[in-house]
Amino acid sequence: MSDQTPVIPDTDTFLMSLPEVAELAQVRRPVVTNWRRRHPDFPKPVVVRQGRPMFDGQSICAWLVETGRARRDDIYADLRLYTLSATADEGDPKALFGVLTSLICLQHCDGEPLTDATATELAQRADQVDPGDEMVRSELAEHPELLPRLAGFADELIEAAWGAKGALDRVVRLYERRGGVIELRDRAVHPQLASLMAELSGAARHAERLGTVRIADAAAGTGDLLLAAAGSIGEAFAPVFTAAEPDPFLGRLLMRRFLVQGVPREDVTVAHTLAAAETPDVIVTALPVQPGESRSTLDVLHALDDLAVRLRPGCTAVVLGPAEALASALRSYSPEERLRAKLLATGMVEAVIRLPGGMVPARPGYESALWVLTATKDERSRGWLLLGDIADRELTPEVVDACVTDVVTWRRDGYRPIAHTRTYCVQAQVSELVERPRALTPRMLPTVREYNSVIPGTVARINELEVILAEFADSADRPTEVTSGIGVSDAGAGARDTIAGLVKRGWLRVIKGSRIADGDATSQGHHRVLGRANVCGDGFFGERRIDRAVLASYPRTRLTEPGDVLVTLVPRPAVYLDERGFSVAEFPVRILRVTDDGDEYFTPRVLTALLQSTARARSPGAVRPPRKLTEWELPILEPQTVWRLDRLLDSLDQRQKRAEAELDAITELRRLASAGVANATLTFPH
């Protein structure tokens, strides 16, 4: 063969997955799928690995440049960053990760290129930068066969990421997302959550006040929380870090990450546990998630107690843990309830924030919450804490900023809770939470601004809607005008109880829906089948029916009664009042029925309205709604208020049935009146 034969690059080193193609092109993942379908010249996959098509990176870059979707100078320089999936699929992922991150760290430490260096030379350089074998020496010595191939790759990653810091972060994020290394997957923390915890810790404030700050993590994992805290401080101060991590693999990774971040080695301590005498200025930690969450609520609360005793005056701890222990209602008079009340009574709990689902990527069904602890409170805030709830939100930078603002504003001198507009957090009295334990979630009371402008505006809007509805009543076949007599309430929040508590009182019954086989529900039959699509308003009522003879094969199925309230939590919380009854509620729909003992406090219409005011959506990324149906809280209204609200709702329903044109006005009036009564901002004057 001629010496001029072109060299064909090793395709495997340039393979890309579809998500990486999208990231390279700076588009969303579905856009790439559309390109494949609509453009015949889009590069074909060169191999399929573990069911995922892999594409030649050079061909992808050429296509993006030729079609005007990227600039040649930009995209080729970054190609190596987007081909890490191919490397992650080859060989032992843990060994590949250890060697690759160690090479990046080595290049950062001595500043010498890695390409063309032999395994022996790399080992000698590792001896020089890591004589105590704390971070890179063993990784390079144990896998010399990987060094020739990965050394050049590491150099290219560093160049494409504009430095070792960006390259190492990119590798860690990839392996956390891909899950090839269990230790990384299980300990990964949502980036926005890490940012939220770092800001709530007040690490920057401590550094400004003291000139430095000592930050610790009792379960450091990959170091995401410590590095987020370091990032919140900036480069003007020199923080000192203590990381407790019993896993040697993660402990060595921690040292590499800190060193590449520019933290001097003498300012980092990695140990199996926090020393008993360790008293940091700031603690940021996530209680490690256990498979099936086998640890007890008591264990979680004892862990919180252990962290609290480490706090010196003026110090802060931010702890991530299971919402079941930190925020949900606990069994009455249980040891767990007493221990949590004891912790609250110490006055060290500054804030409790319930988080969206999906904050721990490896456990999307894991519901979590934050506790912010502090050893010192001023006289103004003593006896109070903040309760926050963002379980129905996506944790975006805007939500993080709003949460931090709520807490930081509350910390400042001169804070007056009724004079400030809060976003997600509400001040609560510790003594009430200790004496009458409940779920640690906020009850959003109106601020002075809302009392002065928003609520009167709501009343004015209600009056305006009543005038609109009165105009529809002019003709003889219309009902009489609607006058609610509603006004501003100055009584404050009244009694409330969860649906579980109302069932225990005997006021409500909860009946499960039935699982109906697909072939048994048809367009013909005697009884309507009401599923989640119907309750959510996504399906036509009566389009699915079941014959009574077929229904007889479901002996446990019970028909609804007129006035039953149907509730579903998936795909989103929704409520429907079944006025006709004699329908079949299909799982996962459940039936709420007002009993004879409860009809003084609830009518079907009032129950439906209050449930609609209470329903909260699931945040993106979560696999469960913010709370169980039995945890929903409802106000316990005075019978006179129930009667008047029911009378109002009945009048509105009649008008809605008579004229479709009235629907928008009626719906808005229903929402304003029900929400106002439910949150105690509006009432019916006696």
Summarised one tens digit per residue, pLDDT across range 140-164 is: 888 888 888 788 888 888 887 788 8
If you compute the radius of gyration of the chain from its CA atoms, what whole number of angstroms results? 30
- What's the pLDDT at 102? 92
- What's the pLDDT at 606? 94
CA pair distance 332, 323, nearest whole angstrom: 17
CA pair distance 370, 350, nearest whole angstrom: 11
Q: Kindly give, in sequence order, each residue whose CB lies less than 8 Å from that of residue 296, ignoring residues fewer than 6 positions away.
A: 336
Q: Which residue has the higher pLDDT, 14 or 392?
A: 392
- What's the pLDDT at 4? 33
Mean pLDDT of 525-541: 86
64 found inside a domain: yes
Mean pLDDT of 321-342: 91
Residue 203 shares a structural domain with residue 129? no
State which amino acid sits at residue 283.
I
DSSP 460-501: HHHHHHHHHHHHHT-STTSPPPP----EE--S----EEEHHH
Residue 18 shares a structural domain with residue 61? yes
CA pair distance 118, 553, nearest whole angstrom: 75
- What's the pLDDT at 89? 55
- Whether pLDDT at 602 is above 90: yes
Mean pLDDT of 672-679: 84
- Maximum Cα interatomic distance, the chain, rounded to a whole number of Å: 102
Q: Which residue has the higher pLDDT, 470 or 251?
A: 251
Residue 152 shares a structural domain with residue 301? no
Residue 407 shares a structural domain with residue 293? yes
Q: Which residue has the higher pLDDT, 78 or 277?
A: 277
437 found inside a domain: yes
Q: Which residue has the higher pLDDT, 335 or 454?
A: 335
615 found inside a domain: yes
Summarised one tens digit per residue, pLDDT across range 385-420 is: 999 999 988 899 999 999 999 898 887 765 565 555
Q: Which of 86, 112, 132 is the last residue before a domain boundary?
A: 86
Residue 534 shares a structural domain with residue 434? no
Q: Kindly give, in sequence order, each residue whose CB lies less than 8 Å from that of residue 205, ignoring residues fewer than 6 positions away.
A: none
645 found inside a domain: no
- What's the pLDDT at 173? 83
- Whether pLDDT at 95 is above 90: no
Residue 123 shares a structural domain with residue 110? yes
193 found inside a domain: yes
Residue 236 shares a structural domain with residue 159? no
- What's the pLDDT at 654? 78
Mean pLDDT of 341-368: 88
Instruction: State the residue range of the domain holding 504.
Output: 496-635
- What's the pLDDT at 607? 95
Helix then strand then coil, in percent of the chain rounded to 5, is 45, 15, 40
Q: Which of 272, 307, 335 is the last residue before a domain boundary?
A: 272
- Whether pLDDT at 227 is above 60: yes
Strands 268-271 and 240-244: parallel
**Residue with tokens 């957090």, as numbered in its chain:** 425
- What's the pLDDT at 445? 60
Residue 241 shares a structural domain with residue 295? no
Domain count, the chain: 5
Mean pLDDT of 265-291: 85
- What's the pLDDT at 621? 62
CATH code (residue 42): 1.10.1660
- What's the pLDDT at 577? 94
- What's the pLDDT at 456? 83
- What's the pLDDT at 6? 26
State which amino acid sits at residue 649.
L
Residue 502 shares a structural domain with residue 369? no
73 found inside a domain: yes
- What's the pLDDT at 362? 76
Using alpha carbons only, what angle is made at residue 579 by residues 575 and 584, rounded to the nearest 5 degrees? 70
b/e per residue 299-336 (b: at least 16 CB within 10 A): ebbebbeebbebbeeebbbbbbbbbbbbbbbbeeeeeb
CA pair distance 602, 635, nearest whole angstrom: 10
611 found inside a domain: yes
650 found inside a domain: no
Residue 520 shares a structural domain with residue 548? yes
Residue 581 shares a structural domain with residue 529? yes
pLDDT confidence bin for 9, thresholds 50/70/90 = very low
- What's the pLDDT at 358? 83
Mean pLDDT for the chain overall:
84
- Whether pLDDT at 292 is above 60: no
- What's the pLDDT at 130? 87
Tell me what percent of the residues of the chain surpass a pLDDT of 70: 86
Flag the least confident range among 144-158, 175-189, 355-369, 559-573: 175-189
Summarised one tens digit per residue, pLDDT across range 161-216 is: 788 898 888 888 877 776 677 888 888 888 999 999 999 998 998 888 888 899 99
CATH code (residue 341): 3.40.50.150
Sign of CA dihedral 580, 583, 585, 590: positive
Using alpha carbons only, what angle is made at residue 168 by residues 162 and 170, rounded to the nearest 5 degrees? 80
- Whether pLDDT at 87 is above 90: no
- Whether pLDDT at 75 is above 80: no
Residue 77 · residue 232 · CB < 8 Å: no
Q: Which residue has the higher pLDDT, 16 or 578?
A: 578
Residue 287 · residue 321 · CB < 8 Å: yes
Q: Which range, 126-135, 475-484, 612-621, has the best average confidence (pLDDT)?
A: 126-135
DSSP 105-132: HHHHHH----TT--HHHHHHHHHHH-TT
Q: Which residue has the higher pLDDT, 479 or 197?
A: 197
Q: Which of 31, 58, 86 is the last residue before a domain boundary?
A: 86
Residue 82 shares a structural domain with residue 95? no
pLDDT confidence bin for 7, thresholds 50/70/90 = very low
b/e per residue 89-128 (b: at least 16 CB within 10 A): beeebeebbbbbbbbbbbbbbeeeebeebebeebeebbee
Q: What is the pTM of this model?
A: 0.72
